[in-house]
Amino acid sequence: MTGKLLLATILCLMGGQALGDAILEGNYNVTAVCTAVKVGTQLGSIESCQTYYVCQSTGPVQSSCQSGYSYDYKRSSCYPSSEVDCYWGVENPCAGKNNTWVPNTAVCGGWFYCLEGKSAGSGNCPVNQKFDTTTLACVYGTCSNTQGTNETVLESLCDVVPPGQYFGDTESCSTWHYCESTSTGLVLQSGKCSANNQTAYNVLANQCTYESASVCSRVTNIPLSDAAVSCSTNGAKSADPKVCGTYYVCTNGKNVATYCPTGDYYDDSLGYCVSRQVATPVAGCNRCQYATSTFVNAVDSNNCSTYYYCNSQGEATLNTCPADTFFDESRQGCKSDDDLSTYVPLNGACKGATAEGSEETDNSTTDAE
Ligand SMILES: *[C@@H]1O[C@H](CO)[C@@H](O)[C@H](O)[C@H]1NC(C)=O
Ligand SMILES: *[C@@H]1O[C@H](CO)[C@@H](O)[C@H](O)[C@H]1NC(C)=O
Ligand SMILES: *[C@@H]1O[C@H](CO)[C@@H](O)[C@H](O)[C@H]1NC(C)=O
Ligand SMILES: *[C@@H]1O[C@H](CO)[C@@H](O)[C@H](O)[C@H]1NC(C)=O
Ligand SMILES: *[C@@H]1O[C@H](CO)[C@@H](O)[C@H](O)[C@H]1NC(C)=O
Ligand SMILES: *[C@@H]1O[C@H](CO)[C@@H](O)[C@H](O)[C@H]1NC(C)=O
């Protein structure tokens, strides 16, 4: 097992360096993160608990802990596996654990409950929460990838970059970040260099300096990781694609999840929260949230014919009305298109819908995807 891992490590290293390719672990571009940290910094892996990367001036060099040891990115060293909270790619995340929770890294917000080295149950954090690997508890926040993919996803740069160390960004030369240890886990803090024309964050010097081609060479305009919820325009708002009542406000380079008052949805075209029935939230978000009925309109600006069945957990299953009908949420059924024009103004989910289907909004729906 270890031999195989080591061999894979060596092959991967050779391949990576010979071709000059970036080292990628899913959405985690190790090469890019290395350009944003000080030379010598070690980064964790999200594919294996034994693996880590040493950032050299030529890029990341993969390395591995000896058998029985795991890499602890928070302490930048290998420790006996039982002393390291690492769950990436491990066969039994409950090994050596008793009466505690550990993350299920394959599922957003997923956890296992461990008893005497074995999983004694599994589950998911409530909506709008994710499992924090530091506190081993559910905390507020959304997963970057809510689709149930099998791929390991880097949710936060603070899962691989050692805490307390400043690092730069690949989208803006001014932006700096560091991972702060708090009682609720590691939190990504970000800011911008702005004083006296010294607007570049200089990774080597670990300070704000004047901009120059070499200081800013890391800027590729590719986000450090699409998961790292970085943003550039302070105050800019964006809708959560899945949760109608949640949106994000860009604050110091970081998208901060913000929740509408109970019963309200974030209306993307208005840019603020309005009551559920009149709001036009982003297409595809789950309108079972705050619903008091079993069947609800899906956001459908075409012909208002799609609707969800909401189960008792608030999960939505998409359905479609028969031809020449639309879904009427107050009547809990499909109604003749004759009444659609009076329904639309009172029900934001169907804004823009017509019996013939609205070509214009068809267009914008395609654009959004
Ligand atoms: C990874 O980062 C490197 C260095 O910034 C960049 O050249 C490369 O295009 C990136 N690869 C992907 C797939 O984003
Ligand atoms: C594991 O935890 C349970 C519950 O706290 C306890 O009853 C049991 O004795 C523990 N087993 C071991 C081997 O420590
Ligand atoms: C995970 O991958 C397997 C095999 O590729 C596939 O059959 C399964 O549906 C996937 N599960 C999810 C949740 O994507
Ligand atoms: C900043 O740059 C501007 C324009 O290049 C210049 O006029 C100004 O004197 C500079 N300020 C400092 C503090 O260097
Ligand atoms: C609504 O529009 C879609 C896409 O144009 C079409 O496939 C569907 O048949 C229409 N449904 C109704 C009930 O009119
Ligand atoms: C519809 O799509 C076409 C081609 O993609 C584009 O030129 C046009 O502006 C779009 N119309 C609207 C209303 O978005």
Q: Give the residue whose CA is nearest to atom 4 of ligand 4.
A: 197
Q: Give the residue whose CA is nearest to atom 5 of ligand 1.
A: 32
Q: Which atom of ligand 6 is nearest to the CA of 360?
A: 13
* Residue burial 227-247, b: 16+ Cβ < 10 Å; e: rest: bbbbbeeeeebebbbbbbbbb
Determine the Cα–Cα distance for residues 83 and 45; give it in Å rounded to an integer. 17
**305 pocket-lining for ligand 5 (C-beta < 6 Å):** yes
Task: Retrieve residue 156's tokens.
Answer: 């936060």
Task: Retrieve residue 91's tokens.
Answer: 């066969």
Domain ranges of the chain: 262-368
Task: Retrieve residue 20's tokens.
Answer: 């000059």
> Which residue bears the tokens 């789950």?
286
What element of type H or E holds 186?
A: strand 185-192
Cα 28 to the center of its chain, rounded Å? 12
Q: Give the residue whose CA is nearest to atom 10 of ligand 3.
A: 150
Which ligand number lies closest to the CA of residue 35? 1
Determine the Cα–Cα distance for residues 274 and 281; give it in Å rounded to an integer. 9
Q: What's the DSSP call for residue 358?
A: -
Quick one: what percent of the chain has pLDDT higher than 70?
A: 83
**321 pocket-lining for ligand 5 (C-beta < 6 Å):** yes
Burial class (CB in 10 A: 0-12, 13-18, 19+), 30: buried
**Tens of each residue's pLDDT in the chain, 369 residues:** 444 444 444 433 433 333 457 888 867 889 999 999 999 999 999 888 999 999 999 999 999 999 889 999 999 999 998 888 888 877 788 888 889 888 887 777 788 899 998 888 888 888 777 888 777 888 777 665 433 344 566 778 898 999 999 999 998 999 999 999 887 678 888 899 988 889 999 999 999 999 999 999 999 887 786 544 456 677 889 888 778 988 888 776 666 778 888 899 999 999 999 999 999 999 989 899 889 999 999 999 999 999 999 987 777 899 999 999 999 999 999 999 999 999 999 999 999 999 888 754 444 444 433
How big, in percent rounded to 5, are the helix, strand and coil portions of the chain? Answer: 15, 35, 50
Q: Which atom of ligand 5 is nearest to the CA of 323?
A: 13
Task: Retrieve residue 286's tokens.
Answer: 């789950």
Q: Which atom of ligand 4 is nearest to the CA of 196?
A: 13
Residues with CB under 6 A from ligand 4: 196-197
The pLDDT tens digits for 298-312 are 999 999 999 999 987
The pLDDT tens digits for 197-220 are 899 999 999 999 999 999 999 998
Q: Give the residue whose CA is nearest to atom 8 of ligand 5.
A: 323
Could you tell me which of 81, 46, 53, 86 has the C-alpha nearest to residue 66? 81
Q: Give the residue whose CA is nearest to atom 4 of ligand 2.
A: 99
Q: How close is the Cα of 173 to the center of ligand 1, in Å?
A: 16
**323 pocket-lining for ligand 5 (C-beta < 6 Å):** yes
Which pTM does this prediction carry? 0.55
Cβ(286)–Cβ(244) below 8 Å: yes
